[in-house]
Amino acid sequence: MDVTRLVAVRHGETAWNVDTRIQGHRDIALNDTGRWQATQVARALAGEPIAAVYASDLLRAHATGAAIADAANAPLHAEPGLRERSFGAFEGRTFAEIETEQPEQALRWRKRDPHYAPEGGESLTRLQARIANVTARLAARHMGEQIVLVAHGGVLDVLYRLATGQALQAPRTWLLTNAAVNRLLWTPQALTLVGWGDTRHLDSASREETST
């Protein structure tokens, strides 16, 4: 059958996530919570048939992908095409800082201008094209199989929009939770949403059980 099942996972939490600091292509490691989240999502997927795990080559995503690949006994591949959107000069700063120092730039970003790119960064249209291309390339290798894509919030947002037909400028009404399980189907004709934002493996009871 000409279909590939995709499990899309955002990396576990980092210190910059907590600080609401823009990461982009900065190579930030998981914090303690992020490492726990990676373990939990790996356990949640361990019993499923997974042909391969493809993870962004940035440390936070690659470490999350490594946990999933190890638990599933699946090969892990570093995929630079799954990197977060490049935010150029904005990386390392908070949105509040940008809003104070560069209000016009912040407004264009907040309004989701699809052609706007921070200095040295990437526009939403370029990000969408990149993610559509890499998803098709990886999924086409695994017809009839299931693969895991481990990436970033901006990447997951684009996947949701591609699967549901939401425009790049449409306000986001869906969550992009760290280490949630999101499921899609890919065919050469379309990307389809199956399920989104499953976080049952991240509830507090699960954490208490694994920390004792």
**Whole-angstrom distance, CA of residue 152 vs CA of residue 130:** 13
Q: What are the angstrom distances between the C-alpha of 199 and each of 44, 106, 112, 150?
A: 10, 31, 27, 15
Is 16 annotated in a binding site? The answer is yes
Is 132 annotated in a binding site? The answer is no
Q: How many CA atoms lie within 13 A of 184 on its CB side?
A: 24
Is 74 annotated in a binding site? The answer is no
Q: Residue for token digits 């799954």? A: 82
Is 201 annotated in a binding site? The answer is no
Is 88 annotated in a binding site? The answer is no
**Whole-angstrom distance, CA of residue 89 vs CA of residue 92:** 8
Is 11 annotated in a binding site? The answer is yes
Is 60 annotated in a binding site? The answer is yes
Is 14 annotated in a binding site? The answer is yes
Beta-carbon neighbour count of residue 180 at 10 Å? 21
- Catalytic site positions: 11, 84
Is 133 annotated in a binding site? The answer is no
- Mark the binding-site residues, compressed into ranges: 10-17, 60
- Mark the binding-site residues for substrate, compressed into ranges: 10-17, 60
